[in-house]
Every structure is written in C-alpha cells, then in structure tokens.
Amino acid sequence: MRLVVGGRYSGKSEFVKSEYGISEIVQANYDTVLSESCVRDFHLFIKEMIKNNDDINKIIDDMYRLNPDVTIISDEVGLGVVPMDKFERMWRDEVGRAYSRIGEISKSVVRVVCGIGCRIK
C-alpha cells in the first residue's frame, strides 16, 4: 500500500504516473479500493463512508488484506481553516485519522508539493 497526499491540483496524479509507472487511475469507491491498482480522491470516498455510517477502519483493513499493493491518491484537507459546519469538521478529522492508519501500514507515504514528491515514509 502506498499513500500519496497533497493539495488540490498539486501534481499528485502526474507524480504517481511517472514515479510508479501507473497508467490508469480510477475514482475511489468501495469496489475500486479493493480491486484497482491506483485510486484517487480517497478523501471524498471517506466522506461517502461517513454519510453511509460505514466503518472506515474495517474498509482500510479490507484494503490491506485484499489489495495490499494499492496506491491511494488523496487531497490534504486538514491544513486550512477549521470548517464551521459540524459535518465538514467531522469529515476533516476522519480523513486525518484514516491517513494516520494508512500511513502506519503503508510501505510508503509521499507528500506532493508543486509536482515534487517529498518522501515521508
């Protein structure tokens, strides 16, 4: 499992394509995170999981068990202003918790800034 995070339009997908040789990147949803080699917008998938009362940790565990080589591309959502909306705050917090969990079990974590990958793990 690999996690690639960064700001919106920071060059994450281009980095993944050139660094890992991945040509197809699909939208993250329940089916794709368990079967595809690379998924994007994982932060939006987390939002849908919250709305559906899904267990985020269980899905992360399933990903690790069933699709351990998946590359996850996701926006950072916790670096800006704290949202006034209660749901948006909860979502931001859950994204941070999910990234922490994924970071623990991933073989690599990269933050992309200006199209340049900065290795964290």
Residue 51 has pLDDT above 80, yes or no: yes
Q: What is the DSSP string of 40-57?
A: E-HHHHHHHHHHTT--HH
67: which 2 tokens? Answer: 């699709």
| β-bridge partners, 108 | 2
Q: Which domains does the chain have, with CATH numbers?
A: 2-119 (3.40.50.300)
The 10s digit of each residue's pLDDT in 54-69 is 999 999 999 999 999 9
Instruction: Read off the pTM.
Output: 0.93
Exposure letters 67-89 (e unless 16+ CB within 10 A, then b) = beebbbbbbbbeeeeeeeeeeee
Torsional sign, CA 55, 7, 104, 86:
negative
Query: Mean pLDDT across the stretch 108-114?
Result: 97
25/101 Cα distance (integer angstroms):
22
